[in-house]
């Protein structure tokens, strides 16, 4: 799974800690999601989408789909 | 109404602070018992019970990533620890290790009664499993940094 978390966060000038506070998860969780070491659950993915005000598919994409698009 | 903060992050921080504080208190109590020979077993058990309740409470405020890390570390680490115990048991039945392992165990259990040896065995198994957990959890933490 790929995601644009880091880019979206940078656009808003948020630190990992800021985003972690908004999502009510640990900073380590945000870091793990950003670096692709952890795929969030659906509820957390929806929460992330809500925080950024975007649909989930604009934040997360399947590896194969992303590779095909490239 | 809950006495804990609404935010899961703040709950986690509060419980963790309490756990560290109680851990320090436990250590101080055990040291006091050892160094000054004070009878504090009742107090230690009471603090230990509160510590265990808080540790269980901490698990409920873990976020999903922390829970997964915990599951993975416990699965791999404690399984490896339990396998280590099984390995020592198997080795102790082999002739090649009789000299090393069996004499090591025999010198320590020679004057110990069976119930004491049984309890020691339980604690050693637990020690192996917790050690495995700590190693795997530490490795995962280092890799994530």
Which chain B residues contact residue A29 at CB under 8 A? 63-66
**Mutation site for A-interface testing, chosen from B5, B7, B63 by largest number of A Cβ within 10 Å:** B63
Structural domains of chain A, ranges and CATH numbers in brackets: 2-69 (1.10.260.40)
Q: Structure pTM?
A: 0.73
Tell me if B9 and A31 make a contact (CB, 8 A cut-off). no
Nearest to B65 among A21, A24, A28 (CB): A28
Residue-wise pLDDT for B53-85, tens only, equals: 999 998 888 889 989 999 999 999 999 999 999
Q: What ipTM does this complex have?
A: 0.79
Beta-bridge mates of residue A2:
A61
Residue-wise pLDDT for B106-117, tens only, equals: 777 666 777 887
Distance CA A63, CA A41 (A): 17
């Amino acid at each position: 799974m790929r995601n644009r978390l880091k880019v979206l966060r940078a656009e808003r000038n948020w630190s990992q800690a800021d985003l972690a506070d908004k999502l009510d998860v640990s900073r380590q969780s945000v870091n793990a999601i950003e670096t692709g070491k952890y795929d969030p659950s659906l509820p957390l993915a929806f929460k992330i989408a809500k925080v950024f005000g975007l649909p989930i598919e604009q934040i997360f994409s399947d590896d194969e789909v992303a590779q095909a698009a490239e | 109404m809950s006495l804990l903060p609404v935010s899961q992050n703040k709950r986690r921080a509060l419980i963790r602070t309490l756990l560290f504080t109680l851990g320090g208190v436990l250590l101080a109590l055990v040291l006091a018992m050892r160094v000054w020979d004070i009878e504090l077993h009742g107090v230690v058990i009471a603090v230990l019970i509160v510590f265990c309740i808080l540790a269980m409470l901490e698990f409920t405020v873990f976020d999903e990533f922390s829970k997964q890390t915990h599951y993975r570390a416990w699965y791999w680490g404690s399984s490896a620890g339990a396998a280590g115990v099984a390995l020592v048991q198997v080795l102790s039945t082999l002739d090649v290790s009789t000299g090393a392992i069996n004499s090591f165990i025999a010198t320590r259990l020679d004057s110990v009664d069976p119930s004491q040896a049984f309890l020691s065995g339980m604690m050693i198994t637990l020690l192996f499993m917790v050690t495995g957990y700590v190693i795997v959890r530490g490795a995962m933490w280092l890799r994530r940094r």
